[in-house]
A = this chain, B = another copy of it.
Amino acid sequence: MNHPTSSDSSLASTAEVDQVLERLLEDRQIEAIERLIEETSPADLARAISRLDEASRGQIVDLVGAESAADLVQQIPHVQAVQLLGEAQPDHAAAVVDELPSDLQTDLISDLQSDDAADVLSHMQPSEAADVQQLSQYDRLQAGGLMATELLRYPMSWTIEQVVEDLRGGADKYRDYEIQYAYVVDDQDRLQGVLRLRDLLLGDRQRNLRDIMIGNPLSVDVAVKLEELHGLLQEHSFLGIPVTDTAGRLLGVVQRRDVDEAWIEQQDKSFLRRQGIVSGEEIRSLPLWQRSRGRLLWLSLNIVLNLLAAAIISHFESTLAAAIALTAFLPIISDMSGCSGNQAVAVSIRELMLGLVKPGDVGRVWLKEISVGLMNGAAVGILLGVIAWVWKGNLILGAVIGVALTLNTIVAVSIGGVIPLLLRGMGRDPAVASGPLLTTVTDMCGFFLVLSLASSLIEYL
């Protein structure tokens, strides 16, 4: 296929995938469902599943074979996979999880409700369940939680010939492994070197691994965090990094792909949190109460923050009553300052992500922001001031609005530029808390500037 598209499944070409899937589930056409899973693109599958009702969704895992269901679970988004397994019979869910690589097993089990998780674990094959128990001691966002234990491991004394024989003999077992490297260990199972397939291919078959391996390879401790792994993989072009315990024993391998996936998932969560989905997770097929709760948490906090700024307006009610034309400009001051501040927040978050600034660079960032703040503050201040003057026919009113917006823009970019660095310095996610902090302060400050300026010039307004 030369131009593969998401709609090249033969089954899906006649009708929407979700309608096909729903009909097949009703008719319990197991083989056809399995074929659909195999032939449909992950996006179409995910979309079709999100359109089913809960009862039909639960059936999928219960009906189709474990291998096919495992294939499905690996293709759809994580949150959906968790939902699917949670709604299935525990023994069927367990059979599916048995088929998955160890890191994914652990991810899924740890995100199930705790009694569902225990149910599924109790139905899994004992050795697989033990693997999960073992891995679930690590955080999902650590090397231990991200690594797969399936890897090629050979003693230093072996020859290339022996490795090739082993690979040939184990073709079945290795088929699903992501083999980029083979790892060489000593008799204590401590990592000593790494072999690229290329070295095995080009080397003399009689040579010992000890002589052709790349010694003293890069490895990470099982406790290393996702952020550091991501940094290492940006720095080096390796496809995977071996993971060791504190004694240097080889435990597993983190694949670049899994790190990237976890990284993107983190970014996604942080995006949702930043936009006020406090739980960091919502898809619309989740139950209504769960969606509503995840959003309400932030909305109620936001009311409190907003009341702080409202208190300032309320304090100046007599000024406003005397110069009612000002009221139309209060939301503009609030919104414009929020925008300027958010621009600075965005650049700081980006520079933090790229490693261009560190929490200690607060002073430097502040100077850079003040210069932009002066320019842009003056520009928007003059613009809005002139508009206010012309619209309301009052020069002083225009001046009050213009000066207040200029000053508040400088305040906003200062806070916006600096706050992400301070939050990062305190070990918090700057993406989430920067916005609310920024707008609360700039609203309060902006309303105060406009209204105190206005009240001191009230006889001219």
Contact = CB atoms under 8 A, between A and B. Distances in A.
Interface of A: 1-6, 41-44, 46-47, 50-51, 75, 77, 80, 164, 167-168, 171, 178-180, 197-198, 200-202, 218-221, 224, 228, 231-232, 234-235, 237, 239, 244, 248, 256-257, 260, 264, 267-268, 271-272, 274-277, 282-285, 288, 291-292, 295-296, 298-300, 302-303, 306-307, 309-311, 313-314, 317, 320-321, 324-325, 327-332, 334-336, 339-340, 342-343, 345-347, 349-351, 353-358, 364-365, 368, 371-372, 375-376, 379-380, 383-384, 387, 391, 439, 443, 447
Contacts of A372: 288, 291-292, 295
Nearest to A217: B1
B336 A325 contact: no
A272 B339 contact: no
Interface centre among A167, A248, A299 (most CB of B within 10 A): A299
B296 A376 contact: yes
A335 B200 contact: no
A417 to B, nearest CB: 9
Given A42-B231, A276-B343, A320-B324, 14 more contacts: A2-B220, A4-B228, A41-B231, A46-B354, A51-B364, A75-B235, A77-B354, A264-B264, A275-B342, A283-B354, A292-B372, A296-B380, A317-B324, A321-B324
Contacts of A260: 260
Contact of A201 (B41, B167, B239, B306): B167
Number of copies: 2
B325 A314 contact: yes
Contact of A292 (B285, B327, B376, B384): B376
A35 to B, nearest CB: 17
A251 to B, nearest CB: 13
A313 B299 contact: no
Shortest beta-carbon contacts, A-B, top 6: A43-B355, A275-B346, A310-B328, A313-B328, A197-B197, A314-B328
Contacts of A347: 272, 277, 282-284
Contacts of A357: 47, 50, 284
B283 A306 contact: no
B321 A2 contact: no
B295 A307 contact: no
A157 B78 CA distance: 45
A331 B310 contact: yes
Nearest to A380: B299
Contact of A77 (B3, B228, B239, B356): B356
A447 to B, nearest CB: 8
A307 B231 CA distance: 45
A299 B439 contact: no
A182 to B, nearest CB: 11
Nearest to A273: B346
A271 B350 contact: yes
Contacts of A365: 284
16 contacts: A4-B218, A42-B235, A168-B202, A201-B201, A276-B339, A276-B342, A276-B346, A283-B351, A292-B375, A299-B379, A302-B339, A307-B332, A310-B328, A314-B325, A321-B324, A335-B443
A242 B44 CA distance: 24
A196 to B, nearest CB: 8
